[in-house]
Amino acid sequence: MRQDSNGALIAHLMRRAGFGARRDELEEHSTKGYEKIVEELLDPEPDGGVDIHDLYRYQPWAWKPGTVYGMGHTPWVYRMLNTNAPLQEKMTVFWHGIFATGVSKVDHYDEITDMVDMFREKGLGKFREIVLGVAKNPAMIYWLDNNENHPDRVNENWGRELLELFTMGVSNYTEDDVRECSRAFTGWSFAPKLPRFPIARFDWEFEFRPNDHDYTDKSFLGHTGNLDGDEIIDIILEQPATAIFIARHLYNFFVADEAQVPAWSVTSPADRAAIEDITTVLYKSDYDLTATLRFVFNSDFFKEALYAKVKSPVDVFIGTLRFVGGSEFPGPGIGNLSRQVGYMGQELLNPPSVEGWHTGAEWVNSGSIMSRTNFFTDMISDTSRPGVEEICNLLQERGSLSPEELVDGCLDMLGPLNVSKETRDELVEHAASGGPVVWGQNGERDIMVERLTEMLQLIVALRDYQFA
C-alpha cells in the first residue's frame, strides 16, 4: 500500500507528537482516523507501558547512576525506545528543554532524573502543577541557587529565570518584580546535602524552611501582600505574556522552527494567528496541556506544517532506532548507544545552559551533521534490523522496479518524503546507473538488497531527511 495524503498526515503527526512510526504502525493507524489517534496520544497509560526495572535487571548501573559520567540518560533513552505513549515522552523532552537543568552544575543525574520523571507524570496536565513541581525540585533549587536565597541576602537567580526563561519572557516585568519574586521563594530549599565521601550520596528532598522565609509584604506585578511562591506562580499564570510565551514554545517544538527564545522579545511569530489561537486555548483551559495540544494537532496550521522543523538529535536518534528496530532490549552497549544523542549535540540531562538547547538550524554544524548522517546511514543499511528487512520485503513484493519506482518506493517508505524535482532526478540517475531492479534468487537478491540499501542511505543523507 502506498501512502495517500491521509497516510502522510498521520506520519507527520507521529513524527511530531512522537518519534515517527514504522510502516506497520502507520497502516494500523490509518484504519483509525486522525482524530482518534490524537486522542490516544493524549491519553497515555502511566509510564507508557515501560517497566523500567527491566532495564535495571540487565543493567544495574543504570539505576541511580549518580555522578558516573555519560550514563545518566540511559534510562530515559530506554523509555523513549520502548514507550507506547510517545507523546508523553515527547512532552518530557519539551519540558526538559524549557526547564533546562544540567549535571554540569548539579553534579548528580539522579536529582535531574527525578525532575524528568515529574515531567513524564505531569507533562500533559496543568502548567501550574509543572511550574510548582519545578520550583520544589531540589535539582532546580540547586541549579539556580535558591538554597542561597535568604531574606537578608536575596539571590535572584531562580526568581529571574522563572520569569525570563520559564514563564513570561524578557521585557514583561521589571527588575523590582524579579527581586520581589525572589523574596517570595526564600526558604524554598532542600534537605542538606551530606558530604559525598566517605558516606556516599544521599537523595535530596524539598524542604521549606520557615525560619529562612521572608514574611514581609512584597509587590509583584501589581499585587501586594505577604506573597509566597505559590501565589507568585498564580499571578504569573494570570499574565497574558505567560500564555503567549508557552504558546510560542509549543509552536516551536511541535509545529515549525521559530527564532531562538532570546529573540522573542524583538521578533514577531511567523504565524501570529496560530500563536493567538494557541494562547487563547491555553488561557481559557487554565493552561491545560492536553486541551491545548488537542487544539494544536487538529488545527490546519499544524497539518500544513509538514517537514517544517529540523530534526533534533533526539528525533534523529530515537526516531531512527524505533524505525529500524532491534535496540529495544536492554542489552550490553545500551550505555554507549545512548551517548550518541550527545555526540549529535543534545546531551540529555546536560543542556548547555539554563536557556536550553538552541533548536532548528542550530542543531546542525559540520561535526553534528557527520554524526547524524553516519548514524542514519549505519542504521538504514543494517538489514539485520527488522525495520530495514521489512522495507526490503515490501519493495520486493512489488516485483521488478524501474529506477523511478525504486526511488519513489524508498522515498515513500522513509516518510513519505517529498523532495524537489532536482533531487529526485539525481536519485533516479543514481538508481538508473545500475539498471532496473529485478529480484532473483539468492545471489541476485543480495545484490538488489545492496542497491536498495544504497538508495536508502542516499535518501537518509539528504538535506530533506534532516527535517521532521
Partner 1 sequence: MLSKDNSPVLVVLQMTGGNDYLNSVIPYNDPMYYDYRPTVGIAQEDVLPLDDQVGFHPEMASLKNIFDAGDMAVIHGVGYENSPRSHFRSMDIWHTCEPDTLGTEGWLGKVVREIDPSKENVVTAVSMGPSMFRALSLPGVPVACIPDLDNYGLMTNVSSYEQRERILERYKRLYGPAVGTGPVMDFLGQTGIDALAGSDILKLAPQKYHSSVEYADNTISQKLRSVAQIHLAGLGTRVFYLDHGSFDSHSNQVGMHDKLLTSMSRAIQDFFEDLRAHNAADNVIMLVFSEFGRRTYDNGSGTDHGAAGATFVIGDAVTGGQYSEYPSIKPEDLQQGDPVPNIDFRGVYSTIIEDWLGIDPIPIVGGTFEKPAVFN
Which residues are at the interface with partner 1 (CB under 8 A)? 67, 69, 102-107, 196-198, 257, 310, 339, 342-343, 347, 350, 352-355, 358, 360-362, 364-367, 369-371, 373-374, 377-378, 381, 420, 422-423, 426, 430, 450, 454, 457-458, 461-463, 466
**Identity of the residue, 156 or 228, whose beta carbon is nearer to partner 1 in the bound complex:** 156
- Cell triple for 211: 525560619
- Cell triple for 2: 502506498
**Identity of the residue, 125 or 352, whose beta carbon is nearer to partner 1 in the bound complex:** 352
- Cell triple for 40: 490516544
Cβ atoms of 164 and 238 closer than 8 Å:
no
**Identity of the residue, 353 or 400, whose beta carbon is nearer to partner 1 in the bound complex:** 353
Least CB distance to partner 1 at residue 223 (A): 30
**Identity of the residue, 106 or 274, whose beta carbon is nearer to partner 1 in the bound complex:** 106
Cβ atoms of 130 and 96 closer than 8 Å:
no
**Identity of the residue, 118 or 455, whose beta carbon is nearer to partner 1 in the bound complex:** 455
Helices and strands: H and E segment counts in the chain: 24, 4
Least CB distance to partner 1 at residue 374 (A): 6
Q: What's the rounded Cα separation, in Å, for the pair 291 and 279?
A: 12
Q: What's the rounded Cα separation, in Å, for the pair 193 and 202?
A: 7
Q: What's the rounded Cα separation, in Å, for the pair 96 and 117?
A: 10
Burial 264-295 (b: 16+ CB within 10 A, else e): beeeebebeebbebbbebbbebebbbbbbbbb
Least CB distance to partner 1 at residue 273 (A): 22
Least CB distance to partner 1 at residue 338 (A): 13
DSSP 6-37: HHHHHHHHHHHHSS---HHHHHHHHTT-HHHH
**Identity of the residue, 285 or 457, whose beta carbon is nearer to partner 1 in the bound complex:** 457
Least CB distance to partner 1 at residue 222 (A): 30
Report helix, strand or coil for 136.
coil
Residue 175's region, left for phi above 0, alpha for psi from -120 to 50, else beta, is: alpha
Least CB distance to partner 1 at residue 389 (A): 18
- Find cell 523574596 and name the residue: 183
Least CB distance to partner 1 at residue 267 (A): 15
**Identity of the residue, 87 or 165, whose beta carbon is nearer to partner 1 in the bound complex:** 165
**Identity of the residue, 228 or 257, whose beta carbon is nearer to partner 1 in the bound complex:** 257
**Identity of the residue, 30 or 147, whose beta carbon is nearer to partner 1 in the bound complex:** 147
Cβ atoms of 183 and 147 closer than 8 Å:
no
Least CB distance to partner 1 at residue 332 (A): 19
**Identity of the residue, 246 or 344, whose beta carbon is nearer to partner 1 in the bound complex:** 344
**Identity of the residue, 217 or 362, whose beta carbon is nearer to partner 1 in the bound complex:** 362
Report helix, strand or coil for 401.
strand
Least CB distance to partner 1 at residue 269 (A): 17
Least CB distance to partner 1 at residue 130 (A): 22
Instruction: Go through the chain and tell me how many residues it has.
Output: 468
- Find cell 538489514 and name the residue: 383
Least CB distance to partner 1 at residue 413 (A): 18
Helices (H), 43-137: 52-58, 74-82, 86-98, 103-106, 109-122, 127-135
Considering only CA atoms, give the Rg of the chain: 24
CA distances (Å), origin 427, targets 310, 408, 468:
22, 9, 20
Q: What's the rounded Cα separation, in Å, for the pair 76 and 94?
A: 14
